[in-house]
A = this chain, B = another copy of it.
Amino acid sequence: MAKQTILVVDDEKDLLDLIEYNLKKEGFDVIKAENGEEGIKKAKEHNPNLVLMDIMMPKMDGMEAVEKMRADDELKAIPIIFLTARSDEKTEVEGLDKGGDDYITKPISTTKLISRIKAVMRRFEETQEEVNRLDVHDLSIDKDRYIVTKGDEEFQLPRKEFELLYYLASRKGKVRDRQTLLNKVWGDNIYVVDRTVDVHVRKIREKLGDHYIETVKGVGYRFKE
Contact = CB atoms under 8 A, between A and B. Distances in A.
B105 A102 contact: yes
B93 A119 contact: yes
B86 A109 contact: no
Contacts of A115: 93
A173 interface: yes
Contacts of A219: 146, 159
A202 B101 CA distance: 45
Nearest to A172: B145
Given A93-B116, A96-B107, A144 B173 contact: yes
Nearest to A103: B86
A184 interface: no
B126 A119 contact: yes
Interface in A126-179: 126-127, 144-146, 156, 158-160, 173-175
A217 interface: yes
Given A87-B87, A103-B119, A145 B108 contact: no
Nearest to A89: B105
A122 B96 CA distance: 11
A123 B104 CA distance: 10
A225 interface: yes
Contacts of A222: 145-146
B126 A158 contact: no
A160 B86 CA distance: 44
Given A119-B96, A119-B103, A144 B217 contact: no
A92 interface: yes
A212 to B, nearest CB: 15
A173 B159 contact: no
Nearest to A177: B1
Given A103-B119, A145-B173, A158-B217, 12 more contacts: A86-B103, A87-B87, A93-B115, A96-B105, A96-B108, A102-B105, A102-B126, A119-B127, A145-B175, A145-B222, A145-B225, A159-B216
Interface of A: 86-87, 89, 92-93, 96-97, 102-103, 105, 107-109, 112, 115-116, 119, 122-123, 126-127, 144-146, 156, 158-160, 173-175, 216-219, 222, 225
